[in-house]
Amino acid sequence: MLLQQQRECVIKTALRARDMGLIVLTFGNFSLRDPKTGYVCLTPSGMDYADLCPEDVVVMDVEGNIIDGRRKPSVEAPMHYLIYQKRPDVCGICHTHSVFATAWACIDAKLPVAVAEVAALVGETVPTAPYRPMGTMELAEVAAETLRDKQAVLLANHGQLAVGPDLATALTNAVIVEEGAKITYYAKSLGRLNIIPTEECLSIRQWALKRYGQK
């Protein structure tokens, strides 16, 4: 089977996201890009993640052409392959509808950085892409344009999208955005929100890149 291990990784990541409460039912979509072939392994449309087998994960190229797989790919396939086109550093994408991040995406405000972990692992303020109908090339375009070189973006009235050099990192970034959105919501409800200045966010991000984890 073409890219069997990579397809299995996509399923495992989707199940982890579900277990952590980032998605419910068949919401969200997950993909990775294989560095050797350049092909993208993407979850299928409307199927329960618990029932997936590797053959159900669709293999595509970054132009959106199906290379292998009998299933219809996620309706958000354009958003995935367009980001891969524009971001050669990205090899993993997680699109989730996690509650607190989506709530922030439903108001006319950016998600500010009030938590050091968000600054360390995601960076600056998480921007919000303008609303476009889901599953459209218009949504794909505004998501990629708003994401630019960042690690995550909110999708207005829809959810969040996180990227990384691999799928595990993309999932980590999705979790951090959700936790940051949750803590920021509660902090804002308690009183005046202390936002970490942009320069400090960038400094923390650089520190994390150099010092955090097992290098």
One DSSP character per residue, 19-30 reads: HTTS--TT--EE
Q: What is the pLDDT of residues 64-90, one digit of tens each?
A: 999 999 999 999 999 999 999 999 999
The confidence band for 21, taking pLDDT boundaries of 50, 70 and 90, is very high
* pTM (two decimals): 0.92
Domain boundaries, the chain: 4-211
C-alpha–C-alpha distance, residues 29 and 58, integer Å: 12
pLDDT of 109 reads 75
User: What's the pLDDT at 214?
Assistant: 63
Share of the chain above pLDDT 90, in %: 74
The pLDDT of residue 203: 87
Residues 60, 66, 68, 72, Cα dihedral to 10°? 100
Average pLDDT over residues 170-179: 94
pLDDT value of residue 111: 85
Q: Given pLDDT bands bounded at 50, 70 and 90, which one contains residue 171? A: very high
Main-chain dihedrals φ then ψ at residue 90, nearest 5 degrees? -95, 130
Beta strands across the sheet bearing 92-96: 66-68, 58-60, 40-42, 29-33, 92-96, 159-164, 152-155, 128-129
Which residues participate in catalysis according to the annotation? 76
Tell me: domain 4-211, CATH 3.40.225.10, correct? yes
Q: What pLDDT score was predicted for residue 213?
A: 62
pLDDT for res 212: 66
Structural contact between residues 14 and 52, judged by C-beta atoms closer than 8 angstroms? yes
Q: State residue 45's pLDDT score.
A: 93
Beta strands in 52-182 (DSSP E): 58-60, 66-68, 92-96, 128-129, 152-155, 159-164
pLDDT tens, residue by residue, 108-167: 777 888 888 888 877 778 889 999 999 999 999 999 999 998 899 999 999 999 999 999
pLDDT category at 215 given cuts 50, 70, 90 is: low
Average pLDDT, the chain: 92
CA separation for the pair 110, 181 (Å, rounded):
10
